[in-house]
Chain A
Amino acid sequence: MISKEVTVLNLLGLHARPAARIVKVAAQSKARFWIVKEEERINGKSIMGVMMLAAAKGCKVTLEAEGEGAEELVETVADLFANKFYEE
Chain B
Amino acid sequence: MTTPIEEHPLQSAGNAGSDLQPELIMRGVPASPGIAIGPAYLFTKDRLKVEPRRLTQAQVPGEIERFRAALEETRQDILKTRAMAMKTTGDIVARLFDSHLLILEDVMLVDETIERMQEEKVSADWLVHDIMQRTYRSLKSQKGEYFSQRADDIRDVARRLVFNLQGVKDEYLSDLDKPVVVIAPDLTPSDIIHLDRSHVLGIATNLGGATSHTAILTRSMEVPAVTGLKNVTELVCPGQTMVINGNSGKVVLHPTPEHVEEYRAKRRKFVAFWTRLKELRDLPTQTTDGHRVRLMANIELPAESDAVVTHGGEGIGLFRTEYLFLTRGSLPSEQEQVTEYRRVVEAMHPHGVVIRTFDLGGDKVMPGLNFPKESNPFLGWRAIRVCLDLNDLLRAQLSAILQVSYQRDVRIMIPLVSDLTEVRRTRAILREVMAGLEAQGLPFNPNIPLGIMVEVPSAVVMARELARECDFFSLGTNDLVQYTLAVDRANENVTHLYTPYHPAVLRMIRDTVRAAHEARIPVSICGEMAGDPLATLLLVGLGLDDLSVAPVLLPEIKKIIRSASYETAHRVARQAFRYHTAAEVEAFLVATMKKLFADLPVWFNREG
Contact = CB atoms under 8 A, between A and B. Distances in A.
A77 interface: no
B110 to A, nearest CB: 9
B391 interface: no
Interface string B99-121: 00011001111011000000000
Contact of B336 (A17, A46, A49, A88): A17
Contact of A42 (B108, B142, B150, B329): B108
Interface string A57-79: 00000000000000000000000
B109 A46 contact: yes
Contact of A15 (B106, B109, B144, B336): B144
A76 B108 CA distance: 21
A54 B138 contact: yes
Given A47-B106, A52-B139, A12 B111 contact: no
Interface in A2-31: 11-12, 15-17
B330 A87 contact: yes
B154 A48 contact: yes
Contacts of B106: 46-49
A54 B103 CA distance: 18
Contacts of B135: 48-49, 52
Given A46-B109, A48-B103, A48-B154, A11 B147 contact: no
Contacts of B154: 48
B333 A87 contact: yes
A5 B200 CA distance: 54
Given A16-B146, A17-B336, A11 B108 contact: no
Contact of B107 (A12, A43, A52, A87): A43
A2 B384 CA distance: 49
B329 A11 contact: yes
B138 A88 contact: no
A12 B146 CA distance: 13
A67 B108 CA distance: 18
B155 to A, nearest CB: 12
B108 A15 contact: no
B380 interface: no
B111 A88 contact: no
Interface string A31-57: 000000000001101111101101000
A18 to B, nearest CB: 11
A11 B331 CA distance: 11
B54 interface: no
Given A48-B103, A48-B135, A11 B330 contact: yes
Contacts of A88: 330-331, 368
B328 interface: yes
B315 to A, nearest CB: 30
A65 B108 CA distance: 15
A88 B146 CA distance: 21
A17 B336 CA distance: 9
B139 A51 contact: yes
A54 B102 CA distance: 20
A51 B147 CA distance: 8
B112 to A, nearest CB: 6
A12 B143 CA distance: 11
B337 to A, nearest CB: 13
Interface string B528-551: 000000000000000000000000
Interface in B300-350: 328-331, 333, 336
25 contacts: A11-B329, A11-B330, A11-B368, A12-B328, A12-B330, A15-B147, A16-B146, A42-B108, A43-B107, A43-B112, A45-B107, A45-B108, A46-B106, A46-B109, A48-B106, A48-B109, A48-B150, A48-B154, A51-B142, A52-B135, A54-B138, A54-B141, A54-B142, A87-B333, A88-B330
Interface of A: 11-12, 15-17, 42-43, 45-49, 51-52, 54, 87-88
List the 4 shortest-distance A-B pairs measured between CB atoms, nearest first: A46-B108, A52-B138, A49-B108, A45-B107
Given A54-B142, A88-B368, 8 more contacts: A11-B329, A12-B330, A15-B147, A45-B107, A46-B106, A46-B112, A49-B135, A88-B330
